[in-house]
Amino acid sequence: MSLISEFKDFINKGNAVDMAVGIVIGAAFGKIINSIVNDIIMPPIGMLIGGVNFTDLKLTLQEAMADAAGQEIPAVSVNYGNFLQMLIEFLIIAFAIFMVVKAINKMKKEKAAEPATPPAPSKEEKLLTEIRDLLKK
**Residue among 57, 61, 62 at smallest CA distance from 46:** 57
Please report, for the domain that includes residue 126, its CATH number.
1.10.1200.120
pLDDT bin (cut points 50, 70, 90) of residue 14 is low
Tell me the Cα Rg of the chain: 32
Q: Is pLDDT of 1 > 70?
A: no
Residue 41's CB: how many other CB atoms inside 10 A? 15
pLDDT at 111: 76
| Digit-coded pLDDT (tens) for 72-107 | 888 898 988 888 888 887 888 788 888 888 988 888
Query: For the chain, what is the domain count?
Result: 1
Domain coverage including residue 42: 3-136
Pairing of strands 65-66, 59-62: unpaired
Q: Report CA-CA distances (Å) from 114 to 100, 107, 108, 111, 124.
A: 22, 11, 10, 6, 28
Which residues lie across from 73 on neighbouring strands?
65
What is the value of pTM for the model shown? 0.53
44-64 average pLDDT score: 81
